[in-house]
Structures are given as C-alpha cells and as structure tokens.
Amino acid sequence: MRKKLRLISSLIAVLGVLALGATACGSDDSSSGSDGGALTMAIVAPSASDDLAFSQSMVDSVNALDRDITVQITDGTFIVEDAAAAIRGYAEDGVDVIVAHGTQFGASLAEIAPDFPDTTFVWGTATDTQGLDNVFAYAPAADEGGYVNGVVAAAISSTGIIGVVGPVEAGDAVSYINGFTAAAEAGGATVNVTYTGSFGDVALAAEAAEAHLANNADVLTGTAQMVVGAVGVASDAGVPWFGTQSNQTSLDPDLVVASQVYHWEFALEEMLELRDNGTKGGQTFEINLANGGLVIEFNDGFELSDDVKAAAEAAIAGIIDGSIDTGA
Amino acid sequence: MNDKSNNLLEMRGITKYFPGVVANSDVDFDVRYGEVHTLLGENGAGKSTLVKILFGLYQADKGDLLLRGEKMEISSPSDAISSRIGMIHQHFMLVPTLTVAENVALGMPSTRRPLTDLDKASKKISEISEEHGLAVDPSEIVEHLSVGERQRVEIIKALYRDAELLVLDEPTAVLTPKEVDDLFVILRRMADNGRGLIFISHKLREVMSLSDRITVLRNGQVVGATTPDQTSREELAQMMVGRAVRLTPDLPPNEVKESRLSLNNVSVKNDSGTLAVDNVSLEVRAGEILGIAGVSGNGQREIAEAIAGLRPIEPNGLIEINGSNVSDTNTRSRRDQGLGFIPEERVPDGAIPEFTVGENLILVDHETDNFVSRGLFSFDKISEHSSQLVSDFNVKTPSVNTPTSSLSGGNIQKVILARELSASPSVLLACQPTRGVDIGAAEYIHNRLIEQRELGTATLLISEDLDEVLGLSDRVAVMYEGKVIAVVSGEDAEREKVGLLMAGITEAVDA
Amino acid sequence: MNDFFTSSVLVATAASAIRLATPYLLASLGETIGQRSGVLNLGVDGVMLLSAFFSYWTVLQTGNLWLAVVVALAVGVIMGVLYGIITVFFEATQGISGIGIFIFGLGFSDLMFRQQVGTPKPVQRLPRVDIPVLADIPYIGEPLFQRSLLTYLAFALVPLTFLLLNKTTFGLNIRSVGENPQAADSLGVSVERTRFAAILIGNTLAGLAGAALVLQLGIFQPNLTQGMGFIAVALVYFGAWRPLGVMGGALLYGLVNATVLQWKSLGIIPVSISDLAGMAPAIVTIGALILLARRVNAPAALTKPFSRH
C-alpha cells in the first residue's frame, strides 16, 4: 500500500513535469537537421512564444530573417536557471547564434559566453555587452513608438484622461510609458500610470484598467504580456487601446488604434553580417523608427481623422530627423 | 428480560495473525446477559485485539462469533453498533471541538435529514443522564469537560445507541479513585439491567471488585478462567505473568539522613502560561522515597520538569540539590550535582528510539573520559560498559547494537534505569517508572528503586499508579490543582484517605 | 486623496474588490470544506488553471458560457476524484501530492493552450446580471447587485457552506473526521467516504473558481492564475476555517488590491513606490491576521492520512 501510493504521487508529479517540459522544449523546432550550410539559431525566451508581446516579437523577427537558417526555441523559461541551462545546452550542441531574450539572462550569459568563443550570443534588451566579445546586445527605443502612440491618444481622447497599465517599472516598459506620457501630456492630456507589479497577472491588469476607467480615462494603453486583461476591459467599455511590442489588433479589431511593433530582424541582420565577416560580438544595437526596427502599425479597422493621422506621421518624421525629443 | 444463564455473546476459536505475531490463538470467550466479564492480561496479551475483532475494527482469521445465539459477521463498527454492541475505548473516542450532543449524535441517522437534529439528541441525552446517573450538559463543548465527564459521555454514546453488550477497554486509567468508585456503581447497575459488560483492565484491585467472571489471556491464549471469590490478586498476577510475582513491594526499614533535594515555594507555569505548580515546598532526604500521588494533570509533569531543569520556575522559588542552589542552572549542571532522572515519556524523552541500546546507555555521560579517547569515541569501552549494564539490569535485547525501538516498553525502561542508576545518583527523580510495563518488569524496577534507597539515594517518585506510590513510599505527598495539599507518612497512607485527597477533599481526612 | 473619496471612485473600487475576490472566495470555500475534513489540498491552483483553460476553450469553440461553467465543474470533479484516490485511498502525503496536482495543472493547461489555441484570443465574458430593485440602490447597488451570476453564487455559498458544515449530518461527519477520525470511525462514520466527498466538493469549487476567473477576464494565457490557488489556501487559515472568516479574508485581499490599483491610477501612490505598494495586499492581510489572531486551531487531523492500523 505505502509503496503504491508513493508510486502514484511521484507519477503525478512526473506527469506534471513532463507536461511542463513538453511546452518548454522546442515547440517550434523547424530545423531540418543535416543541411550543413545553413546557419543554426536558437531563441530562449521567458514567456510564451505566442504571447502577442515580448517573446513573440523576437520569434516573429527571427522567422522574418531573409536567410537560410534553422531555428530552435525554448520558451516559457521564466525561471532564470532553466533559461541558463537551455542556453548552455544549445551552445554545447554547436548552435551558431543563440538569442537570450531577456534582460534577466545577463548574469548567466556572462558565465556561459566565455566558454564558447565561437558561438555568438545575442542578448537583450540590454544596452551593453558586459565587455564580452562574442555577445551582441540589443534594445528597442520603445519611447519612440510610445511617443507616436501618445500623440494619437491625446488627440482622440475627449475626457483628456488616459490610463496606462504597465508591469514592473523596468526595461522597455518604462521607456515606452515615458515616451507615451511625454507626448500625451504635450497634447494636453492627463496620463495616469499604473505599474501592477506583475508581468503575468491578467486579473490585476484588468482591474488596473477598470480603475483608470473609473477615473474617467477614455483611452488606454499598456505594455507586457498581462495587458490582454486590460484590453478585454477596454473592449467591454468600448474604449480605444494602443498596443506595443507586437501587433495587438487581433485582441480587438475595432478598438485597437495602433501598435508599435518590434522588428528585431533589422538588428539581427546586421549582427549576422558581422558574424559572417568574422566579428562574433562586442557591439550594441538599438532598433528605432529611423532604422526600421520599430514600426507603428495602424489598424485600418479603427477610423482616424486625417488630422490625427497627419500628426502621427509628423511625429514619426520628427523623431527620425531628430527634431522631436521623446523625453526619455 | 433475558435469562441470566443465556449467552449474549460467544466467541469461539478466534485466531488473528499480524505479520510475525499471533495476536489471538484459538480464543474462546463468552458473555452472559447481566454480567461483567473481565478480560485480564499484560500489554500485548491479546485483549485489545479480541475486542477490536468484536467491534469490527479487525477481522478474525479464524473462529466464529455468535451474538444472541446467532452467528454474525461484523465487518465494521457500524455493523457492531447496529448489533447493539458499544465500546468505550481506552483513549477517548471523542471529538474535542464538538459539543456533547454532536459527539453523541455523530453517525446516527437524523429525523430531519439532511439536517442534524441536536435538540432531540439533547433531550434523549438528558433522559439517559437521569436514568443512569451520568450527569453531563449536552450543549457543552467536550474539550471543556473534565476527564470524568468525558468518560460519562462515552458511556452515554453507547447507551444512546441502545448498546446491550458494552466493551470497556481500560476505562479507569485516567480516573481518580473516587471517580472509579462512581463508575463501578454505574456499570454494576447497567449489568443488573440485563446488559452484558466486557471489562478490560490490568488493575487487579479493580478487577477483583467489579467482575462476575475473569478470563486471563497470555501471549494471545486463554490461560485461565475464574471468578473473584475463587481467586486472589496474587493468583491472577501469576496467571498473567506465568510465574509467581510479588505485587506489593516490601519496604524494609531504612535510616533516613540529610536532606538532598529541597523545593522552596516553587511555582511553575505550563505551556499555556497558567500556573500548574502553585507554591510547592518539599524536601527529600537521603535514604527515603517520597511519593507524589495525584490524578494526572495536577502539576506532576511540570514539577518534574522544573526539577530536571527542563522548565523554568517563577522567580521567588528555590530548588536545591545537595545544598547548592540549582534554580537557574541547566540540566547538565543539575546532573553534575548528582541528579538522576527517569522521565515520564520513555520515548522520546528517556531514550532515543533510533539509537542502539549501547548508545542510549551512554547518552548522558558520553562526553566523559570513560568513553572518549583523543576526541573520538572508544567503541571498545562503550561496548564493554553497555554489555555490563545490559546483564546487570536484565535487559532483554539481542545485543547492545540493537536499535532501542525494537525493544519492549519494559526493556526500554530498564535501559533508562540502568543508565540513570549506573551514575550512582544522590537524588533520583523517577516519573511513572512502571507505566505500561509488564508486571514482571515492574516488580524488577520496584526492587531496584528499593535497593537504591538502601544505598542512600533520595528518591522522588511521581506516579499515577496509587498502589505503586503507596507500596514504595516512606512519605506520600498528594498534589491537587498544582498544590501539595497533604504529606502523609507511608504507614498512615491508607488508600481511601489518599484517594479522597487526590480528589481535593481534605475535610474528611482532617476529621 | 480627495479624488478617491468620490462616490463613483469608491463604488468602482468596491466593484473591483468584489470581482477580484470572487475566484478566491470560491476556491477558499472549497478548500475550507476539504480542510475541515482533514485534507489539505495544495493543488487548488493547478485545478483552477485546468478548469480555466477548459472553460475558456469551450467558449472559444461553442460560444456557450454555461457549457463552459459545466466543463469547469467537470474538470473539478475529475481532479477531485484523482486527488481523493491519491490521498484517501492510497494515503499519500497530502502536501507533496497537492504540489504534484499543481505542477500537472500548470503544465497541462499550458500545453493544451499552446496546442489548441496558441495566440490569446478574446472570448465573451460573463454577462452582468442586475438584481431587480436592489441593483438600483444608490452606492451599494452597483458593486453588490450588478455582478455576474458566478459572483452571486460565490457569496451565496458562504451561508450555504456554513449551514453544510454546522447544521447537517454530513457537515458533522466532515468536522469529526477532520478532528478525530478514529472517533468518527468508531461510530460507524466512514472516514474515507466523508473525506472523499469533501475533497470532491472542494475541487469542484476550485474548478468553479477557475471558470469565474477566466470568464471574468474573457481571455486565457499560460499560468493565468499566478498562484491565486495558493493565496486561496492561505485565506482558509486567515479565515480560521470558517466560511465567514474566509469571505472576510477574500474581501480584504480584493479590497486592498483594488484600492492600491485605484490609488496608483489617481497618483496617490507615486510610480516610484509602485512596486513596493504591490506587496500591500499580502502585508495588510498578514497584519490583519496578527491583529485578529484568535486562538483557533487547525483541524487536529489536518494532513494526517487515516488508517485503522
């Protein structure tokens, strides 16, 4: 009896671990294996590869690369140690380029990268390479898209109050929100910012949005993967929403006004070229409106007046030519 | 009314195996209407197994069970209850957080299904209380009841289910002598009303006073059946143990010398912060045994722990061992002053069950040079020392390297006794030294304590077994609600008088 | 601060608190029944995740909210049977088995979501159901009587759970097997059956909690609960194993969360201490527990498997 029960409970645990493992390991393993010429790449990402946000932006970008590559993905590694193990595993397998998609993986990378001098590690969002010459760093100028979104948001708000739902006050969330706030306030709006304290708590994000609505906000935006809850609240209330990181139009085809989309491929393309020419790392890249790494994708399903559209275009142009300071 | 000569219960050839043991071997046992039939035997003799089979908690491997002349299969307690069998378990089967009425109604069908019907239950409980003299408030929460009242609830539970055959498994273990007397009156009345009672006990005095018939079990077998008027306590003890036993130790006269242990105005709080020992002063002298009598829970445990240094005393008190103040010192330094301590809980307080016999034997002085050379244990010395003690103290163990947990209670107690006495203590604190041990082992332990007295040790004996206290003590101190309410000399300590004192009744004694 | 004490903001905060409290309340009431029978279930979060996913998936496929609730109940029952078999019949260690259930629920809901759905898609949310007359009462009408049916059910279950535990024979059996299973057994109360039934009810309510969460949000994503189930277990301790106390805990937790979010929105809590303020619900709840600490003990047989031998 005792033995049986131990067996059963360990079986359950094993089942659970297997289920977790099945999702965490190579859910998008498109490598064909032995075509020797192709470059091999791997992505290690902290959330789901289809989160409509941070992780998805990188997966989409790598898939958009115009090159003969094979890609392996380990996603959902919100535990840093798991990510580190995956990164080291890929390096040991001889993968050429490994993307460590998360600021929090920096310390692990500093340990792993020196052991594999022939491998290129791509790490972000980060603004330096920690002095490692086989690490490329990347960061988005998220404030730029935030600024453009903010210009439009202030223009379409009638109450003049805009609610922002952020996760934790760090990384590209801060720069997006700062850019957004600067533009919206310049446009005469009041911006209420809530950092919920969590990247994953959908319920809290939803209630944060509700709180903004109670305070008369009539336009909402937010960043990180938990905002799907806030978008739902916006939908219910019929309030316009601005997205970032990925195109969030699918969450509400009627109310998502525009999304700032990260196209990491522009930075990745340059890194791969450098690698082709023998430079394995040591440089930092920023994607922005000017280099095409950031794109504001407007939703045709949301009608914007010509004035507003023109203002947005002007903001984009101003940021690119440097005449506008996003305040970030 | 059923004829008193008819059998209410008949168990024939009951055999029950447990892995490696035959708990019951071909046991025949019957109960007639209107009688109290006692099952007597040592721990592990098979009494509890037999009644658990009767109550459906175990299934017999062989044998038949006849109830009111008909063969029955009892496979669960509900079968037993519906066959009008009631059982008062050794450990109360009560839910402390529930009321008396809830405890009694538990498991019974309700007329207001799915709701409970506690008003109706309370009414019936009051009726039963009145009819049988079992006073208890149905709406009271059980954990607020005294032990005696809880016992009454247990009996009410059985009567509420209209039990005709009642099993009482060691029902007196936690009662004061007065409560025992009251209980026996109730039980006798129940038998007179035609019920059959099975009384399980190893207290010979009670068995002699309550039983109509007595069946003795040893090693799972029936070794004899008799009636009180055809036997004596000594004979019953002999049947239980299988050899002649001296029940009452002989206390030879002894010279009493200087004071070794003295307590002055000692007060001690219990775990919940209330005063458990209230301003107690005592003195134990060389060559005497001072016994503390009292119903469990009147401060005995706390006073023992305070003396041993396991529990702090209140600031105004004073404890002295051999004249030096040890009130604030730890256990180690009290032991260095000559204190030996046999704790109430054999395991885990007295011995570590996972340790070998040898390890437990050196537990107290394992740091001394006797067993250590160059910072390491000298296993030769340890082994030599423990083998000597095992043979001196008659410990039945395969070797000194046997894990202590595989020994019987009596033998574990001998290990503890050997360890404590081998240090030649000048003061010995012995708590419940024979609780749950065989009569044979108890006899041995008693003789050792008397021998120690002759060697001049001052012994403080704390025991719930009144016979033990009365038989061994030069003086008897009675504790009640944390106070020592009387100290009487051994010769003056009559059972009845001490029994009344244990219940807090001093008037009758003074008179 | 004055912005906060306007009727519309206070009403919105109360409504938010009640929405947030609903899944906790359902899960905690279920856990209360289980724990009163002596069974600790740390797998609540896993059951919530499974039921949340499957009810979300049902709405996605059929658009039928009530079918989704039925599916959530079914998931709860299935997980209850599983946990009951493990803990009652195999007498497994409850703590570790519950964690096993949690890990299974976390992993399996994630796997199913990726295989069957992939990208989060919004679905219909639970409709608001106004209770006639009461819904129109100023101030309290909106937060209390303009909610979803699952919220009404959650709060209705508070007195029902109280009645079940304290006034029915089944409740008496539950309490006794949680305190002293040997005593219950000796009176012919089946400890196994009682605990199994309590586990079943507990898991079914956990299933309902998952449905309430996901159908309030109208969207699912991996690890949607973010450990809500564990908070629900903690709230049982907070509530001293009493339905009313558990409700108080769930409401307090929801209210502090809602207030913090409202204050953040109003700028009463500046962005600079925003992350710190995120700990407020836990701190206030623990603080309240210390202040109110009554001497209530856990069911004596909690986590202890029962066997006659």
- Work out the pLDDT band at C309, boundaries 50, 70, 90: low
Cβ–Cβ of A12/C219 closer than 8 Å?
no
Cβ–Cβ of C121/A250 closer than 8 Å?
yes
Say what the pLDDT of residue A67 is: 86
Cβ–Cβ of C101/A197 closer than 8 Å?
no
User: In a 3-state reduction of DSSP, which class is residue B116?
Assistant: coil
Q: Report d(CA A302, CA A316) in Å as an integer.
A: 19
Domain residues for A279?
A: 21-140+264-287
Contact status, residue A58 vs residue A43, Cβ threshold 8 Å: yes
Type of residue numbered C141: G
* Touching status, chains C and A (3+ beta-carbon pairs under 8 Å): yes
What is the Cα Rg of chain A in Å?
21
Least CB-CB distance to A20: which of C107, C213, C266?
Answer: C107
Query: Which of C 149-178 lie inside 8 A of B, CB atoms?
Result: 167-173, 175-176
* Dihedral pair phi/psi, residue B386, rounded to 5°: -70, -35
- Taking contacts as CB-CB distances below 8 angstroms, the residues of chain B near C173 are 106-107
Least CB-CB distance to C90: which of A4, A211, A217?
Answer: A4
DSSP B174-227: T--HHHHHHHHHHHHHHHHTT-EEEEEE--HHHHHHH-SEEEEEETTEEEEEE-
Instruction: Give the containing element (helix H, strand E) for B484.
Output: strand B483-489
Residue by residue, pLDDT tens for chain B (511 residues) are 455 678 899 999 999 998 878 889 999 999 999 999 999 988 778 888 999 999 998 999 999 999 999 999 999 888 999 999 999 987 889 999 999 999 999 999 888 888 999 999 999 999 999 988 888 999 999 988 888 889 899 999 999 999 999 999 888 877 777 788 889 999 999 999 999 999 998 888 899 999 999 999 998 999 999 999 999 988 999 999 888 887 777 788 888 889 999 999 999 998 878 899 999 999 999 999 999 998 878 899 999 999 999 999 999 999 999 999 999 999 999 999 999 999 988 877 888 988 999 889 988 877 777 777 777 887 888 888 889 999 888 888 888 888 888 887 888 999 999 999 988 899 999 999 988 787 888 888 999 999 999 999 999 999 988 889 999 999 999 999 999 999 999 888 888 889 889 888 887 555 4
Most confident residue range from A122-131, C33-42, C182-191? C33-42
Least CB-CB distance to C172: which of B77, B106, B157?
Answer: B106
> Is C16 within 8 Å of chain A by CB?
yes
Query: Which of B 148-177 lie inside 8 A of C, CB atoms?
Result: 157
Cβ–Cβ of C213/A203 closer than 8 Å?
yes
Identify whether residues A159 and A255 lie together within a single domain. yes
Domain B259-510 has CATH 3.40.50.300: yes
Task: Calculate how close chain C gets to A231, using CA atoms only, in Å.
Answer: 9
Task: Calculate how close chain C gets to B207, using CA atoms only, in Å.
Answer: 25
- Taking contacts as CB-CB distances below 8 angstroms, the residues of chain B near C167 are 115-116
Task: Calculate how close chain C gets to A274, using CA atoms only, in Å.
Answer: 34
Strands A241-245 and A219-222: parallel
- Taking contacts as CB-CB distances below 8 angstroms, the residues of chain B near C184 are 95, 106-107
Q: Which residues contact B216 (CB under 8 A, 6 or more apart)?
A: B40, B41, B222, B223, B224, B225, B226, B236, B239, B240
Contact status, residue A204 vs residue C259, Cβ threshold 8 Å: no
Going by C-alpha positions, the residue among A205, A255, A197 that lies closest to residue A226 is: A205
- Taking contacts as CB-CB distances below 8 angstroms, the residues of chain A near C97 are 9, 12
- CATH class of the domain whose range is C7-292: mainly alpha
Mean pLDDT value across residues C277-285: 85
Task: Calculate how close chain B gets to C306, using CA atoms only, in Å.
Answer: 13
Task: Calculate how close chain C gets to B67, using CA atoms only, in Å.
Answer: 19
Identify whether residues A45 and A154 lie together within a single domain. no
Say what the pLDDT of residue A318 is: 94
DSSP C23-55: HHHHHHHHHHHHHHTT---TTHHHHHHHHHHHH
Say if residue B383 is exposed, middle or buried (CB neighbours under 10 Å; 0-12, 13-18, 19+).
middle
Q: What is the ipTM, given to two decimal places?
A: 0.90
Minimum Cα–Cα distance from C186: chain B residue: B77
Q: Report d(CA B48, CA B51) in Å as an integer.
A: 5
Instruction: Give the containing element (helix H, strand E) for B261.
Output: strand B259-269
Cβ–Cβ of C173/B107 closer than 8 Å?
yes
Q: Is residue A100 part of a domain?
A: yes
> Is C224 within 8 Å of chain A by CB?
yes
Least CB-CB distance to B57: which of C170, C180, C308?
Answer: C308
Cβ–Cβ of B107/C188 closer than 8 Å?
yes
* Structure-block tokens of residue C96: 């570790």
- Work out the pLDDT band at C24, boundaries 50, 70, 90: very high
Cβ–Cβ of C176/B89 closer than 8 Å?
no
> Is C296 within 8 Å of chain B by CB?
no
> Is C300 within 8 Å of chain B by CB?
yes
Cβ–Cβ of A211/C86 closer than 8 Å?
no
Site from A202, A231, A246 to mutate, C interface, most C CB atoms within 10 angstroms:
A202
Q: Which residues contact C306 (CB under 8 A, 6 or more apart)?
A: C38, C91, C177, C181, C182, C185, C191, C192, C195
Type of residue numbered B494: E
Instruction: Give the containing element (helix H, strand E) for C247.
Output: helix C243-266
Residue by residue, pLDDT tens for chain A (328 residues) are 445 555 555 556 555 555 555 444 444 444 433 345 688 999 999 888 888 888 888 999 999 888 888 999 998 887 888 899 999 999 999 999 999 998 889 999 999 999 999 999 999 888 889 999 999 999 999 999 999 999 999 999 999 999 999 998 888 899 999 999 999 999 999 999 999 988 889 999 999 999 999 999 999 999 988 999 999 999 999 999 999 988 999 999 999 999 999 999 989 999 999 999 989 999 999 999 999 999 999 999 999 999 999 999 999 999 999 999 887 6
- How far is C-alpha A98 from the chain's CA centre? 17
Identify whether residues A25 and A107 lie together within a single domain. yes
Cβ–Cβ of B98/C300 closer than 8 Å?
no
Q: Report d(CA A268, CA B327) in Å as an integer.
A: 78
Least CB-CB distance to C262: which of A2, A21, A211?
Answer: A211
* Dihedral pair phi/psi, residue C91, rounded to 5°: 50, 40
Q: Report d(CA B313, CA B206) in Å as an integer.
A: 38
Q: Which residues contact C138 (CB under 8 A, 6 or more apart)?
A: none
- Taking contacts as CB-CB distances below 8 angstroms, the residues of chain A near C91 are 1-2, 5
Q: Report d(CA A21, CA C4) in Å as an integer.
A: 46
- What are all long-range contacts of A283-286, with beta carbons under 8 Å and residues at least 24 apart? A283/A129, A283/A136, A283/A137, A284/A126, A284/A127, A284/A128, A284/A129, A284/A136, A284/A137, A284/A138, A284/A139, A285/A136, A285/A137, A285/A138, A285/A139, A286/A127, A286/A138, A286/A139, A286/A140, A286/A141
Handedness of CA A87, A89, A92, A94 (dihedral sign): negative
Fold annotation for B7-241: Rossmann fold (3.40.50)
* Structure-block tokens of residue C298: 């856990």
* Structure-block tokens of residue B377: 């244990």
Say if residue A30 is exposed, middle or buried (CB neighbours under 10 Å; 0-12, 13-18, 19+).
exposed
Least CB-CB distance to C107: which of A16, A50, A228?
Answer: A16
Cβ–Cβ of A194/C90 closer than 8 Å?
no
Handedness of CA B150, B156, B161, B163 (dihedral sign): positive
Q: b/e map of C242-254 (b: 16 or more CB within 10 Å)? A: bbebbbbbbbbbb
Cβ–Cβ of A21/C107 closer than 8 Å?
yes
Least CB-CB distance to B96: which of C169, C173, C179?
Answer: C179
Here the CATH number for the domain that contains residue A85 is 3.40.50.2300
DSSP alpha helices (H): ranges in B423-492? 439-454, 466-472
Say what the pLDDT of residue A26 is: 41
Say what the pLDDT of residue A32 is: 38
Identify whether residues A161 and A255 lie together within a single domain. yes
Cβ–Cβ of A48/C114 closer than 8 Å?
yes
| Total domains in the fold of chain A | 2
Say what the pLDDT of residue A11 is: 59
What is the Cα Rg of chain C in Å?
20
Contact status, residue B261 vs residue B427, Cβ threshold 8 Å: yes
Minimum Cα–Cα distance from C121: chain A residue: A251
Cβ–Cβ of B77/C182 closer than 8 Å?
no
Establish, for the pair of chains A and C, how many residue pairs have beta carbons separated by less than 8 Å: 199
Site from C128, C261, C262, C274 to mutate, A interface, most A CB atoms within 10 angstroms:
C261
Identify whether residues A316 and A245 lie together within a single domain. yes
Identify whether residues A31 and A126 lie together within a single domain. yes
Q: Report d(CA A148, CA A132) in Å as an integer.
A: 35
Least CB-CB distance to C180: which of B55, B95, B110?
Answer: B95
- Taking contacts as CB-CB distances below 8 angstroms, the residues of chain A near C264 are 192-195, 208, 211
Minimum Cα–Cα distance from C191: chain B residue: B107
Task: Calculate how close chain A gets to C289, using CA atoms only, in Å.
Answer: 23
Type of residue numbered C95: G
Identify whether residues A235 and A302 lie together within a single domain. yes
DSSP B305-334: HHHHTSSPBPTT-EEEETTEE-TT--HHHH
Identify whether residues A237 and A304 lie together within a single domain. yes
Domain coordinates in residue numbering, chain B: 7-241, 259-510
> Is C282 within 8 Å of chain A by CB?
no
What is the Cα Rg of chain B in Å?
25
Pairwise pLDDT comparison (C214 vs B395), residue with the higher score: C214
Least CB-CB distance to C223: which of A6, A200, A217?
Answer: A200
* Structure-block tokens of residue C11: 């009403």
* Touching status, chains B and C (3+ beta-carbon pairs under 8 Å): yes
- What are all long-range contacts of B125-133, with beta carbons under 8 Å and residues at least 24 apart? B125/B100, B125/B101, B125/B156, B125/B160, B128/B156, B128/B159, B128/B160, B129/B156, B132/B156, B132/B159, B132/B186, B132/B189, B132/B190, B133/B185, B133/B186, B133/B189
Identify whether residues A54 and A155 lie together within a single domain. no
Minimum Cα–Cα distance from C295: chain B residue: B272
- Work out the pLDDT band at C1, boundaries 50, 70, 90: low
Cβ–Cβ of C90/A9 closer than 8 Å?
yes
Say what the pLDDT of residue B376 is: 82
- Taking contacts as CB-CB distances below 8 angstroms, the residues of chain B near C188 are 76-82, 107
* Touching status, chains A and B (3+ beta-carbon pairs under 8 Å): no
Say what the pLDDT of residue A1 is: 47
- How far is C-alpha C190 from the chain's CA centre? 27
Identify whether residues A315 and A224 lie together within a single domain. yes
